[in-house]
Structure 1
C-alpha cells in the first residue's frame, strides 16, 4: 500500500483522509502529540497512523519528517494546514517527490512575499505598501498617493483575522494594531511575520477560483461566488458553486488565476485563489493559498460537478494524472450562521427548510460561549443547499436565511 504523509490534520483534512481511503492509500498525519489529543474521536478514526514532531522548529520538523519518510517509505507529501504549506514544499523537494517550488513556497503563506512575487511576475494585484510599525506605515501611506479606503492586513494570518477596511486616518492606528496582533501561529506556536500590508481597496465582485496544478500545468476547476460582510471587517458569510458568470468573465478569472499560481511556483498541488472581477472585464488577485479551500467548498464542488478536489490533490502528490472530468452539471451553496455579538448561544430561529436543503449544522450547544462577527471564527453553523443552477440555489439560499436569527442568552 502506498503511503501519503499529511502535514497536520486541520483545514480540509477530513476530505483528504476520506479521499486517501477511497484511493486505497495509507494516510499518515504529522502533528504535535498534544494537538493530536485534541482531535475529535471521528477524526482520529480516519487516521491510519501518526508521526509526532515540533512544528515550532520548522528546520527541526523538516529533518524529523524527512528521516521518518525515508524510513517508512513515504510516497507523497500533502500540505493541508495553510501555515505549514511551505514546509510541505520543502519536504517534498528534500525527498524528491512531486510538490511546489520550495524557493517560492513562502509566497503561498506570507502575503508580503506574495505581493513581491506578483509584482515581479506582472500579476495584476492591489498596490501594496509594507510597514513594520505605525509611524512608518503612516509615512508610507502619506507618500504613496493611495487614498482611503485602504485595506490593512497582517502578512501572515488566515480566516480574515486582523483584516479591516479603513475609511479614514482616525481609524488607521487601531486597524494597524489589530493587524499586528498575531505574533505567533496557533496552535503550534511558531513565530509569524508581523509586517503589516496596506493595500489599495479594490472594488468589484469577489470570487475564488479552485484549481489543480499537475507537472506545471494549472487546471482551473470552477469559479466560486463569495459572499462577505460589509463594513470594517469582511468575514465570509457564504459560497456558491459555480458562480453565475458569462464565459468571457470566467475566462478572465481563469487566466488571471493561472498567472498568479505560476508566479508562486505552484506546480504540483492545488490552489485556492481569491480575486476581484472589476468593471471593464479585468481582474485583480487578492491572495492565493497552496491548499484546499475551506468553508466546505470541496464538498460543494463534488455536489455541483462530481469532481473530488481532495482526491485529485493526493493523485497529483503521488505523480498520478488527476481525475478532473465533471460528471454532473448542477449547483450547490452554503450560508453560515453568525451571531450579532459575542455571548452565550441559545438557538437558531427562523431557518426555512426546503427540498433544496442538503444539510444543516449547528456547532455550539446551548449556553456555550460564542464569538461575535468580524472574522470567520464567529460562525455558529451553516445550511448547505443544492439545485439545478446557480440562480436557483442562490434563490433557495436567500429564502432559507432571510428571517434567520442567532439567539443569545
Structure 2
C-alpha cells in the first residue's frame, strides 16, 4: 500500500522490537499523517526494524534521543515544513522522554513526572505506598550487605530487581542470603546495559506466590486482563500470555480495582498503561508487581485485537491526535501468545518448520525474534531476550488457543551444535 506524504507529523522516539511501533505507524499512515522515527544511530537499529519501516515508507532520522533539547530542536525544524501533531514513544526506555518532549511542545500525552515514576521501581513503590494493599513488602539496597539485611527483614523467598531495567533482566527469586548477595553484586557491577546506564542499587521485594496477570489500560480504565504464563524460579521469564484471562468474577474485580488504583496513585491517567499484578497464595488478595506508562509489549496488543477487535495501538494514537478513544471492549474469542526459548549456549545451525506452523488451524502469527537466524552463536542471559520466537493463535477458549499455540511451537525445530572452545570462553 502506498501512503501520501503528509505535512502533519507524529514523531516517535526509538522503537521496540515487538511490533507496536510499526502498528502505530500503519494507523497514522491510514489517517494521512506521516510518522517519523528518531534514533541515536539509525544504521545500528536492528535490520528487522529497518526493513519494516522502509517497507512502510517511514523515515528514520538521527538524533540524540537522550536529550530533550535535541528532540525539541528537531521538532521545531520539522515544524517549518508542516505541523508536528504528536511526540511519543512506545519503547520502554524512551516513554518518559516522549512524555517530556510532548509536554514541552504543548502536545497531548501523559504527565511526564508520572511516566518517570514508572521508569524507577523504587519511585513506583513509593508512589503507591500511601494506598494500602498495592505494594508487597520492599526495601531499596545500595550494597549486597544491605540487600541481604533487607531480605532477612522481609522473609524468604524474596525477589531482587534492578531499579530501571526491563524484560525481567537480572530479576531473581532468592531463597537465601547467598543468592541475594550474588545477584545484587552482579547488578551493581553492570555499569550499563543495552546502552543505558544502570543505577547501582536493587529493590528487594516480598515474593508474591499466586498467579500473575496484567491489566491493559487506557485513560486509567482497565479494558481487559491478560493471564501471564511464567518460567520456573529463580527466573521470571514470560513464556506466554492469554487474553482475555479466564477468572472468577470476584478475582477479576479485585485485579481491576487494584490496577486502577495503581495507575491513579502513580499518576498515569492519560493514554495506555500496563499493570502487572499477582494474586496472593490463597487467591483472596493481590499485589502490584509493576506499573508501565506505555502500551503493553510482547504482542499483547495483537492478542487483544484478535480476541476483541479492539486495537490498542489505534486507541493510543487516537488519544495522541486529540480524539476520544472508545474504551469499551468485548472479547468473543481467546488469543494465546507462546514463546519459544533459545538454548543456554550454542551455534544455531538451522531453523525449520515456520511455514508448516503458519498453516495450522488458528495460527495467526509465527515470528522469529529479531536477530535469531541460522549461523548465530548464542549465550543466554536469563531475560526475555532469550526468546527464539513467538506464536500467536486464536481459539474458542483458553484451552483451545493454548493447545494450538503449543502444537505450532512443536512444529518449529532449531538445530544446534556446540560452540567451539574459543567461542565458549569468549
**Same-fold status (TM-score > 0.5):** yes
* Residue of structure 2 in register with 1:233 after alignment: 235
1:343 corresponds to 2:343: no
- Specify which of 224, 227, 238 is matched with residue 226 of structure 2: 224
Change (3 A) 1:48 1:367: closer
Deviation for aligned residue 1:347? 4.5
37-46 or 276-285: which moved more? 37-46
1:103 corresponds to 2:103: no
Change (3 A) 1:164 1:190: closer
- Specify which of 18, 21, 32 is matched with residue 24 of structure 1: 32
The CA distance in 2 between the partners of 1:404 and 1:32, in whole Å, is: 35
Aligned pairs (5 A) from 1:398-409: 398-401=406-409, 406-409=414-417
* Residue of structure 1 in register with 2:13 after alignment: 7
SS in 2 for 1:176: helix
Q: Is the 8 A contact 2:246 2:398 kept in 1?
A: yes
Deviation for aligned residue 1:345? 1.5
* Residue of structure 2 in register with 1:308 after alignment: 311
SS in 2 for 1:233: coil
Change (3 A) 1:134 1:328: closer
Q: Is the 8 A contact 2:192 2:198 kept in 1?
A: yes
* Residue of structure 1 in register with 2:324 after alignment: 321
TM-score (norm 2): 0.86
SS in 1 for 2:192: coil
The CA distance in 2 between the partners of 1:118 and 1:35, in whole Å, is: 40
Aligned pairs (5 A) from 1:113-132: 113-122=123-132, 124-132=134-142
SS in 2 for 1:199: strand
SS in 1 for 2:242: strand
1:191 corresponds to 2:197: yes
* Residue of structure 2 in register with 1:201 after alignment: 207
Structure 1 residues 161-183: Cα deviation after superposition (integer angstroms, max 9, x where no partner): 11011111122221112333443
* Residue of structure 2 in register with 1:82 after alignment: 92
Change (3 A) 1:366 1:267: same
Change (3 A) 1:404 1:35: closer
Structure 1 residues 228-285: Cα deviation after superposition (integer angstroms, max 9, x where no partner): 1112111111111111112222221111111111122112211111111222432110
The CA distance in 2 between the partners of 1:87 and 1:59, in whole Å, is: 7
5-14 or 150-159: which moved more? 5-14
- Specify which of 263, 275, 299 is matched with residue 302 of structure 2: 299
The CA distance in 2 between the partners of 1:342 and 1:378, in whole Å, is: 10
Structure 1 residues 331-383: Cα deviation after superposition (integer angstroms, max 9, x where no partner): 11111111332111234679995412223233433232234372111111122
232-241 or 303-312: which moved more? 232-241
Change (3 A) 1:225 1:371: farther
1:246 corresponds to 2:248: yes
1:358 corresponds to 2:364: yes
CA RMSD of aligned residues (A): 2.5
TM-score (norm 1): 0.89
257-266 or 356-365: which moved more? 356-365
* Residue of structure 1 in register with 2:3 after alignment: none
Q: Is the 8 A contact 1:3 1:73 kept in 2?
A: yes
1:177 corresponds to 2:185: yes
Q: Is the 8 A contact 1:239 1:297 kept in 2?
A: yes
* Residue of structure 2 in register with 1:393 after alignment: 401
* Residue of structure 2 in register with 1:40 after alignment: 50
The CA distance in 2 between the partners of 1:397 and 1:228, in whole Å, is: 16
- Specify which of 273, 276, 283 is matched with residue 274 of structure 1: 276
Change (3 A) 1:10 1:240: same
The CA distance in 2 between the partners of 1:13 and 1:197, in whole Å, is: 30
Runs (5+) with no aligned partner, structure 2: 1-5, 418-426
Runs (5+) with no aligned partner, structure 1: none
* Residue of structure 2 in register with 1:61 after alignment: 70
The CA distance in 1 between the partners of 2:16 and 2:77, in whole Å, is: 21
The CA distance in 2 between the partners of 1:75 and 1:93, in whole Å, is: 12
The CA distance in 2 between the partners of 1:64 and 1:122, in whole Å, is: 43
- Specify which of 135, 141, 146 is matched with residue 136 of structure 1: 146
SS in 2 for 1:74: strand
